[in-house]
Amino acid sequence: MENHAIERLNALLAAGYEIEPSRNDGDAVSLAYPSRTLEYWYAIVYASGQVVFPISAGAEVRFYSDSPQEEFRAFVRSIPKPSWLKAHVRIRGVVAAGGSILAVCSIAGWLLK
């Protein structure tokens, strides 16, 4: 049996998904799509080649290790490309950076009084 894990991971990265380092473990890579409006915005690629897209309470889209590769490719082709803004600007990062800057300015203002 062929292992399609790397090919599937590369296809999802090319479709706009990003690796979520805080959610990864030894045998799986977690990915997130920049737009949370996409029903299958979160994906898990296992070392075995299995890919799981949890979509709601208990429901999921699953491609098993031995699922035909063409079915997976067709699914990836159906994923809309993220806009340039969503692909390059992580809103969480912008909010966190803005909050940090605001906190530093507040502390600096308090110290300079």
Most confident range, picked from 15-29, 50-64, 81-95: 50-64
**Whether 52 contacts 60, CB under 8 Å:** yes
Residues 17 and 65 in one domain: yes
* Of 44 and 40, the one with more pLDDT: 44
Residues 78 and 92 in one domain: no
**Whether 48 contacts 42, CB under 8 Å:** no
- d(CA 26, CA 56) in angstroms, rounded, equals 25
Residue range(s) defining the domain that contains residue 105: 88-113
Residues 71 and 101 in one domain: no
Q: pLDDT value at position 98?
A: 47
Residues 61 and 99 in one domain: no
Q: What is the largest CA-CA distance in the chain?
A: 70
Q: What is residue 39's DSSP assignment?
A: T
Residues 72 and 113 in one domain: no
Q: pLDDT value at position 107?
A: 59
Residues 97 and 65 in one domain: no
Mean pLDDT of the chain: 78
Q: pLDDT value at position 43?
A: 93
